Amino acid sequence: MLDTLQNLYVGFSVALSPTVLLYAVVGCVIGTLVGVLPGIGPLAGISLLLPASFGLDPTSAIVLLAGIYYGAMYGGSTTSILMRIPGEAASVMTCIDGYEMTRKGRAGPALAIAAVGSYIAGTVSVVGLMLLAPPLAAFALRFGPPEYTALLLLGLLVLAYMSGGSVLKSLAMAALGLLLGMIGIDTMTGFFRFHYGLVELGDGIGIVPVAVGLFGLSEILLTAGQEKPPEVIKPKLRDLLPSRAEWRDSAWPIARGTFLGFLIGIIPGSAHIISSFVSYAVERRVSKHPERFGHGAIEGVAGPESANNSATSGAFVPMLALGVPSGPIPAVMLAALMVHGMSPGPLLIQQQPALFWGFIASMYVGNVVLLILNLPLVGLFVNILRVPYPLLYPAILVFCVLGVYAVNGSVIDVWIMIVMGGLGYLLRKFDFETAPIVLGVVLAPMLEMSFRQSLAMSSGSYAIFVNRPIAATMLACGLALLLLGLVPFFARGVDWRRAFGLSPSSELEKEDHR
Amino acid sequence: MKRILISVLSICAIGFAVSQAGAQETFPNRPITVVAPFPPGGVADLTARPVAAAMEKILKNPVIVTNKTGAGGAVGMSFVANSKPDGYTLLMALSSISIIPEADKLFDRKPAYTMDQLVPLALISADPTILVVPTGSPSKSVKDFVADAKKRPGEISYSSSGVYGTLHMAMEMLSHAAGIKLKHIPYGGAGPAITAVLGGHQDTLASGPAAVVAHIKGGKLRPLAGWGAKRIAALPDLPTFKELGYDIEFYIWAGMFAPRGTPEPVLKRLRDSLRQTVQEAAFKDAMAKLDTPIAYLDAPEFQKFWDKDAKMLADAIKRIGKIEEKEQK
């Protein structure tokens, strides 16, 4: 412990040196921007800035890139809350309740809670990263294909809890998402599936165009279809800060989101996206008033936003402790280290203590910077809502197209976004939720790959899922969840979800029909 | 925020304007674009950037690297193959340039590009893959490994960066030369493939040395042999398969290409600049940091190298053939 404090002292002396501090601030500002702009997510942002970091010293470079990563997680909530456009994929869940809060004139509190939640999650999870990195990283390595399959199945099972409306409808949407996720190269055999002669479809459908289309475009289309334009919400100063009740309601979601996000972040994969879905589902599940979800529940903003920030720190655990990338973003950051002649590996912490502890300390500093940066911006961002819709919406449309195009420089992605916008419009007219589609698209390729890898490892025997303890435990949990849900269904023959207080309240539903 | 957005927009606009502008008289008189068909941080990208920086100095003309990614590199490669042959659009390609058209042939697909749409300019680097196992593995040498694989055919598993990917090819050549049967578990990239072996989920893999040297020094992985004609500098004690009597050679290489039809004087200018590039101190330094050996070959020798390499890969792909799910049982 004393060692840690001493190391941390060294770290802070690195992190607070003017140059490193400057790059932390620059990274946070760029990250916030990257998060705010729809389409361009942290991966695209870091990739674009990677070459620029080659000229810096390694500590500044890694601090800059990390700043972009967690800065994007802060910024991603802004457009989600204000315009129902996910600034990056991990903010999809924030769209649902965050935007409803905006429509009720509570945009300020939603943004403030997102920033504070992100700050708490960011800071607490760095403590976790600092103290637990080596043992946790070793645990993360034990996640092979069978464990991963079990985890993803568990994730799909909590889907049913996510829905505000009909479970059947949300499962149908998840299935649609999974089907969309089947497009692209079959990773086990190299066959192209459903590509219709388009090389670009070989990689499958990207999450960004799907999310921006289903959420952002469909919202714009729905608004355009209304008989009279929605009122311009003029925010008042006293409405900018959360009320006492909102603070109270957010405390536990932030705590749970932080914990969940960190744990999920460690496990390789697109952790920050999944963590926000899981957090939302958990909040809904434990809430005394689950019917409020989907209608502007602040818990639905606080939980996922904390989780996705916490997951970013979690993702650094295997990267720093073992030199193993836990996802595409840490992979790019590892490349940045390699360019500076540092071989990322199990010896990184010992060989480069100034880098490791400087990095840790800079994350504490960075989170403070982001809080200071984001809280005053709440007032500014909320004022965007004053812009009349005939001006605001075309502008948003332009930025959606620009952002989605920028990710891969692909026109096909823009088309996917437009098609998804149309699809989202139709589905929402028929009262289908679109979030499960995004989850399906995220999970499908990972689930398919890990499932088929597992079976290839076992030469086709399903026993592999039961013989490995971690996988078996998770599958048992999933099964228990499923059975628990089915018991009242058979016992009383009523809507089993009522037993969990999950049945949608009919008045609220009607209110939502437009 | 609006102001920020406007400035972002205008930067984009300037970018487009710059790439469109310029007349054609002396080459080069406007920015040259080097397309890296893989994402930033990958081998193609990391090689392209120092090359571009050096070329910029030599040609006294901006050289920009852009990443055009997708479909295992096919998107970027076909983009260059089908672009105007004026020397302003170049390609930094890896070994996979020869794999994709072969795989397209195998699946009766309309090829994204053909190799004769591109002319080689220079080979920049070539890194032999090495065979690694976790330190806990009973195999201490290639001899142990092959004996073990013969004892239990199809049971030793190896991870790879993807089906028909370079790492898959390297292992297929080894299996063929040693007469062994291994179990292939493809992953989505070299990073996850290495992680899988570190976690003990798969038994072995072929990898570029740079990505695993730290794990070898950290005592997590053990190298068994390399695919190069010569031993690699970073691991001088590691034997090559050739020394051990297996006639296989495999490199992950990076080379520069231009679209076919580029005028001869332009090609010459580019080749000359690349010859000077590999002698630049800054370039050598950048490659040393990446643990990647420079292996410069000028166009004629590179063409020969490429032909041989492409033939070898084509044979390997034909041997693998289409992977049928049933076969794995």
Helix (H) or strand (E) holding B91: strand B89-94
Most confident of A309-323, A494-508, B251-265, B315-329: B251-265
Q: Least CA distance to B113: which residue of chain A?
A: A199
Residue finishing a domain among B199, B234, B249: B249
For the stretch A370-412, pLDDT in tens is 998 888 888 888 888 888 888 888 888 888 898 888 777 788 9
Helix (H) or strand (E) holding A254: helix A244-266
Residue finishing a domain among B213, B228, B249: B249
Amino acid code (one letter) for A301: V
- B208 and B185 in a single domain? The answer is yes
> Is A39 near chain B, with CB under 8 Å?
no
Q: Within a domain: residue B327?
A: no
Integer Cα distance of A317 and A266 in angstroms: 6
Question: Mean per-residue pLDDT for B251-272?
Answer: 93
CA A296 to chain centre: 19
Integer Cα distance of B17 and A260 in angstroms: 47
Integer Cα distance of B36 and B45 in angstroms: 5
State whether B201 and A457 contact (CB < 8 Å): yes
Residues 6+ apart with CB under 8 A from A80: A86, A87, A91, A92, A94, A95, A98, A99, A215
ipTM value, please give it.
0.81
Mean pLDDT for chain A?
A: 83
pLDDT of residue A490: 61
pLDDT of residue B179: 94
> Is A286 near chain B, with CB under 8 Å?
no
Inform me whether the pLDDT recorded for B24 exceeds 50: no
- B179 and B220 in a single domain? The answer is yes
- B237 and B287 in a single domain? The answer is no
Taking alpha carbons only, the member of A186, A190, A180, A184 closest to residue A202 is: A184
User: Which contacts qualify for A184-188: CB closer than 8 Å, 24 or more apart?
Assistant: A184/A445, A185/B71, A185/B72, A187/A445, A187/A448, A187/A449, A187/A452, A187/B162, A187/B163, A187/B186, A187/B188, A188/A449, A188/A452, A188/A453, A188/A456, A188/B163, A188/B186, A188/B323, A188/B325
CATH number of B142's domain: 3.40.190.10
Q: Which residue has the tokens 């096919």?
A: B74
Give the least confident one: A214-223, A343-352, A392-401, B21-30: B21-30
- B143 and B236 in a single domain? The answer is yes
Give the domain range for residue B59: 27-127+252-317
Q: Within a domain: residue B324?
A: no
Residue finishing a domain among B234, B249, B264: B249
Integer Cα distance of B211 and B97 in angstroms: 21
Q: Which residues lie across from A426 on neighbouring strands? A: none
Integer Cα distance of A315 and A129 in angstroms: 9
Total number of domains in chain B: 2
Tokens of B70: 């997708």
Most confident of A43-52, A289-298, B12-21: A289-298
- B89 and B35 in a single domain? The answer is yes
H-type alpha helices, A409-432? 411-429
Q: Within a domain: residue B196?
A: yes
- B229 and B257 in a single domain? The answer is no
> Is A33 near chain B, with CB under 8 Å?
yes
- B118 and B265 in a single domain? The answer is yes
Q: Within a domain: residue B16?
A: no
Q: Of A200, A328, A457, which has the smallest distance from its Cβ to B70's Cβ?
A: A200
Give the least confident one: A389-393, A409-413, A499-503, B246-250: A499-503
For the stretch A38-94, pLDDT in tens is 777 788 888 778 878 878 888 898 899 989 988 888 888 888 898 888 877 788 889
- B120 and B158 in a single domain? The answer is no
Integer Cα distance of B143 and B66 in angstroms: 44
State whether A202 and B74 contact (CB < 8 Å): yes
Q: Domain boundaries in chain A? A: 2-512
pLDDT of residue B151: 94
Contacting residues of A for B187, CB less than 8 Å apart: 449, 453
Tokens of B274: 């690349």
Q: Within a domain: residue B237?
A: yes
Amino acid code (one letter) for A290: P
Question: Mean per-residue pLDDT for B147-175?
Answer: 92
pLDDT of residue A315: 86
Taking alpha carbons only, the member of A378, A30, A85, A67 closest to residue A214 is: A85
Q: What is the DSSP string of B155-212?
A: TSEEEESSTTSHHHHHHHHHHHHHT---EEEE-SSHHHHHHHHHTTSSSBEEE-HHHH
3-state DSSP helix/strand/coil percent for chain A, to nearest 5? 75, 0, 20
- B173 and B233 in a single domain? The answer is yes
Inform me whether the pLDDT recorded for A132 exceeds 70: yes
- B99 and B135 in a single domain? The answer is no
Q: Within a domain: residue B22?
A: no
Inform me whether the pLDDT recorded for B116 exceeds 60: yes
Residues 6+ apart with CB under 8 A from A205: A180, A181, A183, A184, A416, A441
- Compute φ and ψ for A502, nearest 5 degrees: -100, -5
Query: Which of B195, B198, B220, B221 should one mutate to test binding to chain A, selecting the residue with the greatest count of A CBs within 10 A?
Result: B195
Omega within 30 of 0 (cis) for the link into A469: no
pLDDT of residue B144: 94
Instruction: Categorize the per-residue pLDDT at A233 as very low, low, confident or very high, splitting at 50, 70 and 90.
Output: low
- B58 and B118 in a single domain? The answer is yes
> Is A458 near chain B, with CB under 8 Å?
no
- B31 and B118 in a single domain? The answer is yes
